[in-house]
A and B are shown apart, each in its own frame.
Chain A
Amino acid sequence: MNKNGMRDPKKKKGGFAVYMKRYWQLYVLLLLPLLYLLIFKYIPMIYMQIAFKKYSIVQSVWEMPLAANHGFEYFIKAFQNRDFINALRNTLVLNLLDLIFGFPAPIIFALILNELVFRRFKRVVQTIAYMPHFLSWIIIYGLALQLFAPTTGLVNMVLGKLGIEAIPFLNEPGHWVATYVSLGVWQNFGWNSIIYLAAIAGINSELYEAASVDGAGRFKKMWHITLPGIRPTIVVLLIMNLGNILGSGFDRPFALQNNLVKNVAEVIATFVYKNGIKGLQFSLTTAVGFFQSVICLFFLLLANWISRKLGERGIW
């Protein structure tokens, strides 16, 4: 505050030094998050080497011997492992379904919410829709069991009383996938709609007034004003989602899976947990994780490239 630079903001002489002198506090503030990234995201990358090395608990990562086949032994092993291929397939399928059903849901919800006239009602609906976002997947699985278990679940008990056969929400692969996707949508559509609502709020209201004068109805306005207005937001989020097509949270599939649906529920994250953490095959699972990250990066770049070709801004 007592810096000279503050007094004379128009002066552009001195370049970097003056700039730093003026704004150094902001960079100090940035230091902590950077440190976080460095410590928790970059330093651990040193250990990515073990994908190419024979892991040993007592040696430093630099001392471990190179794995067979020029270090690619574990990548070869992974692709010969049918559990991994299966997990790869499941990860793709589940994430694709998530994208198809989970991506439009918050957009639709935001559009609907935007049309509500009563402010208070809108607020209440919004808050209720956010709520599931704050539940952990372990709790959601607990709820799902209470509701959807074949004989002890509330829904099936009610169906039973009505003389309808129990629906195997959790114990039949096809139904399980539907349950998995629905629970994902349910947990996240409210929360994810926030960003769209913010984007909608930023649309110039004169556009709507002009459209009204021209005789446009609700749906016309939605289609020609609101949606184009939030298109950049949609594209950015779509790119981010595509970048994650092979990534997956661990807790959701882990909490929701059970032995009866394992062949459709095992994803890369749970495969890595089982074989790496539990089975101590650290090199193998690091190789898997490495592969996963490379593919994710590829998709991210690809989606970004396409969107720029299509005339959108992309994320860079």
Chain B
Amino acid sequence: MRSKVSKKALAVLLAASMTLPMAISASAEGEELTDGKFAETKHITVEVYDRGNDGGSDPTNNKYTKYIQDKMMELHNVEVEFVAVPRWTEVEQINNLLAAGDAPDICVTYDYPTIQTYANMGGVLDLASFVDDYKDQLPNLWDWLGETNLYWDKDPSTGTLWAIEAKLATSNRINTFVRKDWLDALGLAEPTTKQEFEDMLIAFRDNAETLLGDDADKMIPYSVSYDVGWRAATLIESFIDPDISDREYYVNGFDDRKFTEPGTKEGVRLLNKWYNDGLMWKDFALYGSGDTTEDDMMKAGYVGAFTHNWDYPYRNGEDSILSNLKRMVGEDATYVVVDPFEDSKGTHTKFVSGPIDRKIFFPSTNDEPLASMLYLDFISAPETIEYLQIGDEGVTHNVLDDGAVEVIAATGDDIQNSGFNIDYTITCNGLKLTDPEVTLKSTAHSYAGIDPALVEEADKVANTDMRVGKNVNVGAISAEEGMGPALSEKRDVAYDNAVIAAPEEFDAVWDSNMEDYLSSGGQAIADERAEKWVATFGDVDTLPE
């Protein structure tokens, strides 16, 4: 590493920083491949998330990175170097790297506006030509992502393509979990409506002594984090009209926490009631992103119900919430999925985005676009994805009698720092084996130490009444530029303060925060979205499937 920077190097660095590098025009011509191999070894750097998990391995240097590096060398004569970026501050980190001109050749982020902003400044390569010109060299990439994901972000008027969208193998988003053993202890059935859910929370609160004994004062019937819009999403969404038009949904849809969608306020009002009735965790707003306090309380068995990623308590093998819960509380303790938030039609609509996941882009400092595209092709090959996801038989997975693959919790060098090594399979999120049938059978077995029936149920509920978002591509919305972080924070502030407000002040708190959000840029975004919708699609409310 560069722990010792000599003064001379520093001087060179300074000189270089003063005469900022010109935009590198990456020409696609003149690079010859023989059997997919470069004549001369190429070097590329690739971003990988660092989750900093306990007992994990170095995300830039472990069994799986070596596999990738060896294969890339063998197939394409490309040397791959990984650059770690902390998962929970990825946007800030990638900003810093981009601004400093140090960003990896292949960057990954969940935040498209960041890419758009840098693209506007000329800091991102236009991928359109690479995707098309190299099509023959990229069979796996084309097979896996197809036009849908490759062209998802293609500007309808200019034709530029700043990022490629990775594919979600499963669209499952959010589920609500409750402590089944508590329901049993109190003789309650699993809740199927909001009212039943509320009654259940009240029963948890009132029977804290029975359920937790000496720890009764630690009881948290329903838990959310500071990110209320995510952590109560299914509840909030149940207040949105399930038949909301594509147009209205899009115009109000800049915020992915549905803050400005019609109906959200009433969802938060219900949370506010629960909060004031002592049904929720009082300290939720004080703990920031990535803090484990709330998870620890779930593991210790104090939390009755919560809403989170569709498989949240089952993730992470031995360190999963459920495994910890069983160790700490007893074998009977378990979280099961419920689907209690009915909407105005009596269905349980779950609004999910399209089949897109992370966004992959090349900064303009990338001078090996072909080698980088070949990397994306390699990482999208079915065999690569399968190996990275399930590893070696007998070490990280077993093959069951019916052919299904069962994941074993690995330790040491075999450990996967992220579930299914999602951080390496950057074009794929979700289990995808070479044989689709095996994939289906294996999903439930892929959670080490977890009863497959629980996972199957979670998958079923997550898919109930799912409404998949369409690709509304009207080009860049200039009002959104640079507004993401500030508006997201305003949204969180609004959600948090509305939840903890006194009931009689709820309307005032919500309205003033909403007013602030809209006048700080939210309204301008909605207006421009509405305008561009009409300009692109005409005066229609619904897009074709």
For B282-303 the 0/1 string (1 means CB < 8 A from A) is 1101111000010000000000
Chain A residue contacts of B10, Cβ below 8 A: 39
Q: Is the CB of A277 within 8 A of B118?
A: no
Q: Is the CB of B286 within 8 A of A149?
A: yes
Whether A126 sits at the interface, judged by CB under 8 Å, is no
For B73-108 the 0/1 string (1 means CB < 8 A from A) is 000000000000000000110011011010000000
* For the complex of A and B, 6 pairs with smallest distance between CB atoms: A278-B485, A259-B496, A57-B123, A58-B122, A60-B20, A57-B121
Chain B residues 138 to 197 lying within 8 A of chain A, measured CB to CB, are none
Chain A residue contacts of B18, Cβ below 8 A: 43, 46, 60
A-B contact list, 9 entries, CB within 8 Å: A57-B98, A57-B122, A58-B123, A150-B283, A153-B283, A171-B283, A171-B285, A262-B493, A279-B483
For B467-506 the 0/1 string (1 means CB < 8 A from A) is 0000000000000001111100100110011001000000
In the assembled complex, the Cα of A151 lies from the Cα of B121 at a distance in Å of 47
Query: Known contacts A57-B122, A259-B226, A280-B117: does B286 contact A145 (CB below 8 Å)?
Result: yes
Chain B residue contacts of A259, Cβ below 8 A: 226, 285, 489, 492-493, 496-497
Q: Is the CB of A151 within 8 A of B282?
A: yes
Query: Known contacts A58-B364, A275-B486: does B226 contact A149 (CB below 8 Å)?
Result: no
In the assembled complex, the Cα of A151 lies from the Cα of B287 at a distance in Å of 13
Q: Is the CB of A277 within 8 A of B96?
A: yes
Chain A residues 109 to 166 lying within 8 A of chain B, measured CB to CB, are 145, 149-153, 160, 166
A-B contact count (CB 8 A): 102
Query: Known contacts A58-B364, A152-B283: does B91 contact A278 (CB below 8 Å)?
Result: yes
Whether B400 sits at the interface, judged by CB under 8 Å, is no
CB distance from B316 to the nearest CB of A (A): 23
Chain B residue contacts of A204, Cβ below 8 A: none
Number of interface residues of A (CB under 8 A): 36
Chain B residue contacts of A282, Cβ below 8 A: 99
Q: When the two chains form the complex, which single residue of B95, B286, B520 contacts A170, counting CB atoms closer than 8 Å?
A: B286
Known: A149-B286, A153-B283, A274-B485. 16 other contacts (CB 8 A): A55-B121, A59-B20, A82-B520, A150-B283, A150-B286, A152-B283, A258-B226, A259-B497, A260-B493, A274-B489, A277-B92, A278-B486, A279-B483, A279-B485, A279-B486, A280-B95
For A78-107 the 0/1 string (1 means CB < 8 A from B) is 000111000000000000000000000000
Interface residues of B (CB under 8 A from A): 10, 14, 18-23, 91-92, 95-96, 98-99, 101, 114, 117-118, 121-123, 217, 226, 281-283, 285-288, 293, 364, 482-486, 489, 492-493, 496-497, 500, 516, 519-520
Whether A56 sits at the interface, judged by CB under 8 Å, is yes
Interface residues of A (CB under 8 A from B): 39, 43, 46, 55-61, 81-83, 145, 149-153, 160, 166, 170-171, 258-260, 262-263, 274-275, 277-282
Q: Is the CB of A280 within 8 A of B486?
A: no
Query: Known contacts A39-B10, A149-B286, A259-B285: does B122 contact A280 (CB below 8 Å)?
Result: no
In the assembled complex, the Cα of A153 lies from the Cα of B283 at a distance in Å of 9
Q: Is the CB of B285 within 8 A of A260?
A: yes
Chain A residue contacts of B98, Cβ below 8 A: 57
In the assembled complex, the Cα of A274 lies from the Cα of B23 at a distance in Å of 27
Chain B residue contacts of A150, Cβ below 8 A: 282-283, 286
CB distance from B281 to the nearest CB of A (A): 8
In the assembled complex, the Cα of A45 lies from the Cα of B364 at a distance in Å of 26
Q: Is the CB of B121 within 8 A of A56?
A: yes
Chain A residue nearest to B481 (CB atoms) is A280
Chain B residue nearest to A170 (CB atoms) is B286
| Max chain A C-beta neighbours (<10 A), residue from B14, B23, B282, B520 | B282
Q: Is the CB of A56 within 8 A of B122?
A: yes
Chain B residue contacts of A260, Cβ below 8 A: 285-286, 493, 496-497, 500
In the assembled complex, the Cα of A279 lies from the Cα of B482 at a distance in Å of 5
In the assembled complex, the Cα of A150 lies from the Cα of B285 at a distance in Å of 11
CB distance from B160 to the nearest CB of A (A): 15
Chain B residue contacts of A153, Cβ below 8 A: 283
CB distance from A139 to the nearest CB of B (A): 14
Chain A residue contacts of B114, Cβ below 8 A: 280
Query: Known contacts A43-B14, A171-B285, A262-B489: does B91 contact A58 (CB below 8 Å)?
Result: no
CB distance from A87 to the nearest CB of B (A): 12
In the assembled complex, the Cα of A282 lies from the Cα of B95 at a distance in Å of 11
Chain A residue contacts of B118, Cβ below 8 A: 57, 280
CB distance from A60 to the nearest CB of B (A): 4
CB distance from B101 to the nearest CB of A (A): 8
Chain B residue contacts of A262, Cβ below 8 A: 489, 493
Q: Is the CB of A274 within 8 A of B486?
A: yes
CB distance from B116 to the nearest CB of A (A): 10
Chain A residue nearest to B287 (CB atoms) is A145
Query: Known contacts A58-B364, A262-B493, A280-B95: does B482 contact A39 (CB below 8 Å)?
Result: no
Chain A residue contacts of B99, Cβ below 8 A: 57, 282
Chain B residue nearest to A86 (CB atoms) is B516
CB distance from A277 to the nearest CB of B (A): 6
CB distance from A279 to the nearest CB of B (A): 5
Chain A residue contacts of B489, Cβ below 8 A: 259, 262, 274
In the assembled complex, the Cα of A259 lies from the Cα of B494 at a distance in Å of 8
CB distance from A216 to the nearest CB of B (A): 52
Q: When the two chains form the complex, which single residue of B20, B21, B364, B500 contacts A171, counting CB atoms closer than 8 Å?
A: B500
Chain A residue contacts of B117, Cβ below 8 A: 280
CB distance from A47 to the nearest CB of B (A): 9
Q: Is the CB of A58 within 8 A of B21?
A: yes
Chain B residue contacts of A277, Cβ below 8 A: 92, 95-96
Query: Known contacts A43-B14, A58-B121, A275-B485: does B217 contact A83 (CB below 8 Å)?
Result: no
Q: Is the CB of B23 within 8 A of A58?
A: yes
| Max chain B C-beta neighbours (<10 A), residue from A81, A82, A259, A262 | A259
Q: Is the CB of B20 within 8 A of A61?
A: yes
